Amino acid sequence: MLEVKKVAYSYQEGQTILKDLTLEFKEGHVYGLLGANGSGKSTLFLSLMGLLKPQKGMIAYQGKPLSYKKKDLYIYRQEVSLVFQNPDQQIFYSIVKDDVAFALRNLGYEEAEITHRVDKVLLELGISHLKEKPVQYLSYGQKKRVAIAGALALESKWLLLDEPTAGLDPEGRRLMMSVINRLAKQGKNIIISSHDMDLVYDCCDYFYLLADGKLLTQGTKETAFIDRELLLQANLEQPWLVKIHQQFNLPLFENEQSFFSQQNKKE
């Protein structure tokens, strides 16, 4: 389990960004972390990775407070990996296959194992054809998938995805959603930060909604999005499946796919 216990974080004195935040992430779930721009999602992710150290409270992993010693963080980050919002923050090598292999090489894996893992994740993400390509010539969406490939190659238990669909076109967004759903089925523990309500509703099974560095509300698909006014105050909208559920008295569908297959049955 990953825990955020009464965490407060400020980049500079007098301006607290995370305010006494307490959240629990248990294994076997896909969590959605929702909040408007500036609500503190990325700051929370950086804190979860041990890249920022809370001034108050603590991050705990498997019941123990996170140790900020270099050696301990090195081990921790093999279990918990983050894919940054902007792929350029994550991509270091010029050729795709080398970039994806970067962390594994750093960790001293055998070349045969590295090749096996790199090929596997590139295939999973549908980007095997980019293997030998220079990263600089890739589109934004392709770069995003390369950044995810690097994190997946580590086979960490936890995957933190910061705004996985930001900047993607509809096709890129669909691909990303199917990748996330596939990873979830494979049992990866995932936390997705986003303000894309529909993506998060579709892919996640538990939700934390943040507003101004504080927890606004939390819950499941059935409970987290009920209060439209509360969400609007936090500059968030209800997912469209929740809107049609409330406004047209339709059942609450789990995801787009189940809604459309139900409609097709009717026709």
Ligand X SMILES: Nc1ncnc2c1ncn2[C@@H]1O[C@H](COP(=O)(O)OP(=O)(O)OP(=O)(O)O)[C@@H](O)[C@H]1O
Of residues 184-223, those binding ligand X (CB under 6 A)? 195
The site map against ligand X for 13-32 (x = CB under 6 A) is ----x---------------
Rule CB under 6 A: say whether 87 interacts with ligand X: no
Rule CB under 6 A: say whether 43 interacts with ligand X: yes
- Strand order of the β-sheet with 56-61 is 15-25, 2-12, 56-61, 64-65
CA dihedral 47, 51, 53, 59 (to 10 degrees): 40
Which CB, 39 or 238, lies closer to ligand X? 39
Rounded Cα gap, residues 104 and 81, in angstroms: 13
Cα distances (angstroms) measured from residue 72 to each of 9, 11, 75, 174, 213: 21, 24, 5, 37, 27
Cβ–Cβ under 8 Å, residues 148 and 175: no
Which DSSP string corresponds to 81-118? EEE-SSGGGT---SBHHHHHHHHHHHTT--HHHHHHHH
Work out which of 3, 21, 25, 40 binds ligand X, going by CB under 6 A: 40
CA dihedral 75, 81, 84, 88 (to 10 degrees): 60
Rule CB under 6 A: say whether 35 interacts with ligand X: yes
Which CB, 9 or 158, lies closer to ligand X? 9
Phi-psi region of 57 (alpha: psi -120 to 50; beta: other; left: phi over 0): left
Stretch that binds ligand X, among 36-44, 112-120, 233-241, 242-250 (CB under 6 A): 36-44
Rule CB under 6 A: say whether 97 interacts with ligand X: no
Rule CB under 6 A: say whether 42 interacts with ligand X: yes
State in angstroms the smallest separation of the CB of 213 from ligand X.
7
* Site size for ligand X (CB under 6 A): 11
Stretch that binds ligand X, among 40-48, 91-99, 122-130, 235-243 (CB under 6 A): 40-48
State in angstroms the smallest separation of the CB of 235 from ligand X.
10
Work out which of 4, 21, 39, 87 binds ligand X, going by CB under 6 A: 39
Which pairing describes strands 80-83 and 158-162: parallel, antiparallel, or unpaired?
parallel
The site map against ligand X for 139-158 (x = CB under 6 A) is --------------------
Burial of residue 28, with CB atoms counted within 10 A of its CB: 0-12 exposed, 13-18 middle, 19 or more buried: exposed
State in angstroms the smallest separation of the CB of 4 from ligand X.
13
Work out which of 6, 22, 26, 38 binds ligand X, going by CB under 6 A: 38
Cβ–Cβ under 8 Å, residues 83 and 161: yes
Taking the CB of residue 68, how many other CB atoms lie within 10 A of it?
12
State in angstroms the smallest separation of the CB of 43 from ligand X.
3
State in angstroms the smallest separation of the CB of 183 from ligand X.
22
Which CB, 38 or 187, lies closer to ligand X? 38
Can you give the binding site for ligand X, defined by CB under 6 A? 11, 17, 35, 37-43, 195
